[in-house]
Amino acid sequence: MNIYILTSGEYGSRIVNNIAKSFSSSIVGIHEVPPDLPEFIDDVTSYVPDNLPQADLIVAVGLIGDINLIAPLVATETGAKSIIISVHKPSAVPPGLMSEIKDNSGDKVVVFAKPFCSLKPMGDPFIDEFTGKLGKPVMTIEGDEFIKKVTVIRDAPCGCTTFIAEELEGVPVEEAEYIGDIKFHNYPCQASMTLDRGLGDTILHVAGYISKEAVRRGLGFSMKSAVVDMETCNTEGEECDHLCVQSCPQVKVGVDTILIGEDNRAHIDPASCGCCEQCLGECPYGSIEIVKKRFDIKKEE
């Protein structure tokens, strides 16, 4: 696979450095876009680099605003059929611009990864080859009382999963979720702390929930989660409208954190619940609370 990268700013640099660790022989070109371009650009064609090589996958990281429109143009010039555009701040690719990029991409597959560490395999050969190594983090954890070994199966594109894995070795298993959270912030994640209206949360927070989920699945348990009271959850009630599901930022990035079961009740997955408390305030019947205890979940093998 040949990867061509469009990058901008500090966020882009860190991701490019980490992509190079996993795909050094696959990168056929890197184009650095100046970070100080205006958000709105009348004609982006003049920003398309010259002498582009043949490529299969275009990865755009750290680009803000209309300059992202060069991604489909570069894909056409290189022959690439697949495009990943990472979204690390709300202004990077607002919904209208996403539609414009999709319209300009023709039959190419374009995926907007918000945040980049939410990217999972999706049936496209080149994007799936990329997510074989980088994307939504996955780790396995060995150890009974203390963590003996952590193996990163899929690193976050910025490399924070590898950093967290190294820091977790030797830690008591029941403290790993909490320590993993602290290490995630120590790395630190460079996604935005501005509220993203589409997610109902900040992109940095959602990246934190994703990182926490990887640690929990590696451990095979979670120490804290939102829980639905089956006695009072009333999906048939006039005011319900599944507001908990609609409010959950994890659901908005494609995770099945809250599902309505065959029993017509909401069920929350303790592996992926970020404990953001949004659903607590939305349920009209006050049926959801945060519970601190050990929840067993399927362990990543």
- Which C-beta is closer to ligand SF4: that of 273 or that of 297? 273
- Which C-beta is closer to ligand SF4: that of 92 or that of 268? 268
Find residue 4's DSSP bridge partners. Answer: 29, 58
Q: How far is the CB of 12 from ligand SF4 (least distance, A)?
A: 28
Phi, psi of 135 (to 5 degrees): 150, -135
Which tokens go with 237?
């009630």
- Which residues contact residue 103 at a Cβ distance below 8 angstroms, ignoring those fewer than 6 apart? none
Count of residues that interact with ligand SF4, criterion CB under 6 A: 27
Q: Is 202 in the site for ligand SF4 (CB under 6 A)?
A: no
Q: Is 226 in the site for ligand SF4 (CB under 6 A)?
A: yes
Q: Please choose, out of 71-79, 106-114, 238-246, 291-299, the segment that lies near ligand SF4 by the rule CB under 6 A.
A: 238-246
Q: Is 228 in the site for ligand SF4 (CB under 6 A)?
A: yes
Distance CA(124)–CA(110), nearest Å, equals: 10
Binding mask 257-286 for ligand SF4 (x = CB under 6 A): xx-------x-x----xxxxxxx---x-x-
- Which C-beta is closer to ligand SF4: that of 145 or that of 231? 231
Which tokens go with 288?
């959801």
- Which residues contact residue 274 at a Cβ distance below 8 angstroms, ignoring those fewer than 6 apart? 205, 206, 208, 209, 212, 249, 250, 257
Q: Please choose, out of 108-116, 145-153, 174-182, 240-248, the segment that lies near ligand SF4 by the rule CB under 6 A.
A: 240-248
Angle in degrees, CA 252, 193, 67, rounded to 5: 80
Q: How far is the CB of 88 from ligand SF4 (least distance, A)?
A: 20
- Which C-beta is closer to ligand SF4: that of 69 or that of 228? 228
Q: How far is the CB of 31 from ligand SF4 (least distance, A)?
A: 37
- Which C-beta is closer to ligand SF4: that of 32 or that of 229? 229
Candidates 161, 190, 211, 287: give the one binding ligand SF4 (CB under 6 A).
287
Q: How far is the CB of 137 from ligand SF4 (least distance, A)?
A: 17
Which residues of the chain form contacts with ligand SF4 (CB under 6 A)? 226, 228, 233-235, 240, 242-244, 247-248, 250, 257-258, 266, 268, 273-279, 283, 285, 287-288
